[in-house]
Structure 1
Amino acid sequence: MIVMIIVLKNENAQLMINKLEKHFASDHQVFVHNNRVAIQGAHPADLTDEERAQASQIITDVPKAVQASRLFHPEDTIIKTPHSVIGGDHFTLMAGPCSVESAEHVMKMAKVAKDAGATVLRGGAFKPRTSPYSFQGLGKEGLVDLRKAADHFGLDVITEVMDDEHVPLVEQFTDIFQIGARNMQNFSLLKAVGKTQTPVMLKRGMSATVDDVLNATEYIAAGGNHQIMIAERGIRTFDNKYTRNTFDAGVIPVLQKLTHYPVIADPSHAAGHTEFVTPLALAGTAAGASGLIVEIHDDPAHALSDGPQALQPDQFKTMVKKVNAVRKALQAFN
């Protein structure tokens, strides 16, 4: 279906927006952002002479994910949480264990994250695992422990929500919903978080194209929640012998060109092995990511999930120093 964006002249823009909505809203989907009006299923020939005269630009080469498009929303989306500013020129560091294993352990990892400069504590309370016999998370108890640890150190919380039924529960404890790669096209879940006003990190699916992930964001935005960020965590390719997934660093600038949403790099799930996490974190930073989400653990050999890809505290601190050096080098050219 064709989508048309009309960029209105600033003078009398609101009056013309009202007229366009009256003209098209009965049989077309109409979106408004500042002086831009996007109309699904409409063509420039459908405009009146007055509407055409008030347009400084008419754009018809618009992707289906119109609300995600920079053509509709040219400015970067900036997401503000109690302890973080995500997007634009800001760089946000998120870290924590893959799973919340105990109150004591997540408290210890929260201190490691805070001391290294992170502002968001990650940790899973509900874990989607390949095997049904693997550790599935502590559920509500894990959410409580994660929230307490974050609050103790002045951090935000990001944690995964696995289905629409869990949204009200998880929302009580988190500052950011995480939608995992396996759930990127769980449309019931996307619609459910779209009805909230809690920020959402949408992880790119293992086989998802750029258009796939942008269209998935549209399900969230359609519910009224525009606080969305996209995470690149590696995709499934023909070779996963040496890394868990293939980190698509090139998709970061592509997404930043196409959409206004912040793009976060997840080197842990892309690498799958500790030794590769830092190099991929540096690649994501150099590619222009708005932040990183990294798994850390003080005893990876005995972690209840994803131990092989977790950085130990000293490794994490070293990674952060290198990431900051890359950022400083990039800033020198701006």
Structure 2
Amino acid sequence: MIVVMKPKASLEEINKIKAKIISLGCEIHESNGANYSLLGLVGDTSRIDAHLLQANDSVEKVIIVQEPYKKANRLFHPENSEIIVGDRSIGGKKLSIMAGPCSVETEEQIMTIAKDVQASGATFLRGGAFKPRTSPYSFQGLEKHGLELLKMAKKETGLPIVTEIMSTSHIDDFVEDVDVIQVGARNMQNFDLLKALGKTNKPILLKRGLSSTIEELLMSAEYIMAGGNENVILCERGIRTFEKYTRNTLDLSAIPAIKKLSHLPVIVDPSHAAGLWWMVEPLAKAAVAVGADGLIVEVHNDPANAWCDGNQSITPERFNNLMKKLSVIAEVEDREI
């Protein structure tokens, strides 16, 4: 339920309505614009009579929200959200480009790649320290040592760190050392992890699950936001379909759909979507064209010998060429790199 206040409603009148709502057991998500004031009701609204609220002179109208997600809903927050990360933001006019290796391997590797992607215009450094793998015998990442190497690369380049968390036991380390905490596709519905991240104030990059609907993705975002952390960025990374030629099927239609339903920024991962390095460029260009707020791209200086997912990683040279092409498409969409 959303209470839309009249443009000339006084602060006293608004506070009176808010006090009434709170007394009935609901939380309030307030959104104010130049010409509007919205009071979004979160919780059990069954005891609230919309007609009685509508009867107040200061209330313009009351909207019943059918979707189960509230705080992630665009009705609660009509304008696009921008997530602030240090001196950068995700969701504004400037596209956020997160680039780096699938996994951190050595100090030399991460330093070299970080400097290369920064020179090409990347705004964030991505790199896996803890790696979820299908096989228990595959490389699982350097773990805490990997985080230390990412911190060294950040100190050298100034690029904020984006890396994936696997367990609630790592939250303290991630809150201290990581700028954007990534929740991977396999953990999208790890509700204990989502609840714990909701108690932090760190930006969370939430990836869509392999077989999850858009509504399920938004409900997972709601878990984080309901805990108090509204710094959520969504990520479309491809979904599992009957097609086996590519690793996943990139759902480009999800970007405009999510933009219609939610105010949260949307990032696209063309690397995991295709699983093929030569598809990264066309998918990245398409993502920008349909309205994505940024990309997360796997870049490796020696893909043939990468410890993880080399077949979907592009070289720094190809990344540099891609950035030049993306800047042209971004300009057409009134965005910039």
User: Could you say which TM-score interval applies, normalised by the shorter chain?
Assistant: over 0.9
Match of 2:40 in 1: 38
Match of 1:159 in 2: 163
Question: What SS does structure 2 have at the residue aligned with 1:177?
Answer: strand
**C-alpha separation in 2, matches of 1:188 and 1:14:** 38
1:228–1:24 CA distance, 2 compared to 1 (3 A):
same
Tell me which amino acid in the other structure corresponds to 1:96. Answer: G
Tell me which amino acid in the other structure corresponds to 1:312. Answer: T
Equivalences for 1:236-255 in 2 at 5 Å?
236-240=240-244, 242-255=245-258
**C-alpha separation in 2, matches of 1:292 and 1:329:** 17
Deviation at 1:20, TM superposition (A): 3.4
Deviation at 1:112, TM superposition (A): 1.2
Give identity over the alignment, percent.
45
Match of 2:221 in 1: 217
Question: What SS does structure 2 have at the residue aligned with 1:321?
Answer: helix
- 1:321 matches 2:318: no
Match of 2:34 in 1: none
1:98–1:46 CA distance, 2 compared to 1 (3 A):
same
Tell me which amino acid in the other structure corresponds to 1:310. Answer: S
Q: Which runs of 4+ in 1 moved over 6 A?
A: none
| The one of 91, 96, 99 aligned to 2:95 | 91
Deviation at 1:24, TM superposition (A): 3.4
Tell me which amino acid in the other structure corresponds to 1:20. Answer: I
Deviation at 1:172, TM superposition (A): 1.6
- 1:181 matches 2:178: no
CA displacement 1:8-28 (0-9 Å, x = unmatched): 124345434433343333554
Question: What SS does structure 1 have at the residue aligned with 2:71?
Answer: helix
Match of 1:233 in 2: 237
Deviation at 1:29, TM superposition (A): 2.8
TM-score, with length taken from structure 2: 0.93
Question: What SS does structure 1 have at the residue aligned with 2:333?
Answer: helix
**C-alpha separation in 2, matches of 1:5 and 1:329:** 35
Deviation at 1:92, TM superposition (A): 0.8
- 1:100 matches 2:104: yes
**C-alpha separation in 2, matches of 1:19 and 1:158:** 43
Give the conservation status (yes or no) of the 8 Å contact 1:62–1:71.
Answer: no
Match of 1:273 in 2: 276
Deviation at 1:217, TM superposition (A): 0.5
1:49–1:315 CA distance, 2 compared to 1 (3 A):
closer
Deviation at 1:151, TM superposition (A): 2.0
Tell me which amino acid in the other structure corresponds to 1:53. Answer: D
**C-alpha separation in 2, matches of 1:128 and 1:158:** 15
Deviates more, 1:46-55 or 1:164-173: 46-55
**C-alpha separation in 1, matches of 2:23 and 2:309:** 51
Tell me which amino acid in the other structure corresponds to 2:12. Answer: L
Structure 1: 5+ residue stretches without partners? none
Tell me which amino acid in the other structure corresponds to 2:22. Answer: A
How many pairs align?
A: 328
Equivalences for 1:49-88 in 2 at 5 Å?
52-88=56-92
Equivalences for 1:4-15 in 2 at 5 Å?
4-15=1-12
TM-score, with length taken from structure 1: 0.93
**C-alpha separation in 1, matches of 2:223 and 2:258:** 17
Give the conservation status (yes or no) of the 8 Å contact 2:3–2:38.
Answer: yes
Deviation at 1:38, TM superposition (A): 2.2
Match of 1:110 in 2: 114
- 1:298 matches 2:301: yes
Deviation at 1:228, TM superposition (A): 0.7
Question: What SS does structure 2 have at the residue aligned with 1:66?
Answer: coil
**C-alpha separation in 1, matches of 2:178 and 2:45:** 40
**C-alpha separation in 2, matches of 1:75 and 1:88:** 11
Structure 2: 5+ residue stretches without partners? 32-36
CA displacement 1:28-72 (0-9 Å, x = unmatched): 432221322222443674453675432212211442111011111
**C-alpha RMSD of matched pairs (Å):** 1.8
- 1:19 matches 2:16: yes
Question: What SS does structure 2 have at the residue aligned with 1:80?
Answer: strand
